[in-house]
Amino acid sequence: MAKLTRSRKALPTAMQKAISLLGRDIAVARTRRRIPQRLFAQRMMVSLDTLQRLEKGDPGVSLGVVASALWALGLGDRLKSLAAPDHDPVGTTEELARLPRRVRRTTSNSTLDF
């Protein structure tokens, strides 16, 4: 059994459930493709135990293992947009709030050199 670290203790329940769901979804995708666990673990270059921990939703499994599983299933592109700035409405709102209210002309008399 994996040790209970501070980060695992602090993991919100909603995120624990999401990680567990991700593990089950990976297991379903693997099963739909009729790939045995042992073969899938070999394709991912991990141990069978690590694959089983991933499919059970163990939050201690590394991000690299998750990425390997998604790649082996042909779902690797989804990882690219997981936290993309384009899909971050809170970050966009914060950035817009920091924009200056007025823009002033610079005091320099130099011409703009493009």
Task: Give tens-digit pLDDT for 62-81.
Answer: 999 999 999 999 999 988 88
% of the chain at pLDDT higher than 90: 62
**Dist. CA 2–CA 32, nearest whole Å:** 29
% of the chain at pLDDT higher than 70: 89
Q: Average pLDDT for residues 82-104, to the nearest whole number?
A: 88
User: How much is the pTM?
Assistant: 0.76
4 φ/ψ sector (left φ>0, alpha ψ -120 to 50, else beta): beta
Task: Give tens-digit pLDDT for 23-54.
Answer: 999 999 999 999 999 999 999 999 999 999 99
**Dist. CA 65–CA 61, nearest whole Å:** 7
- Look up residue 91 and give its two tokens: 């970050």
The pLDDT value recorded for residue 46 is 97
- For the chain, the average pLDDT equals 89
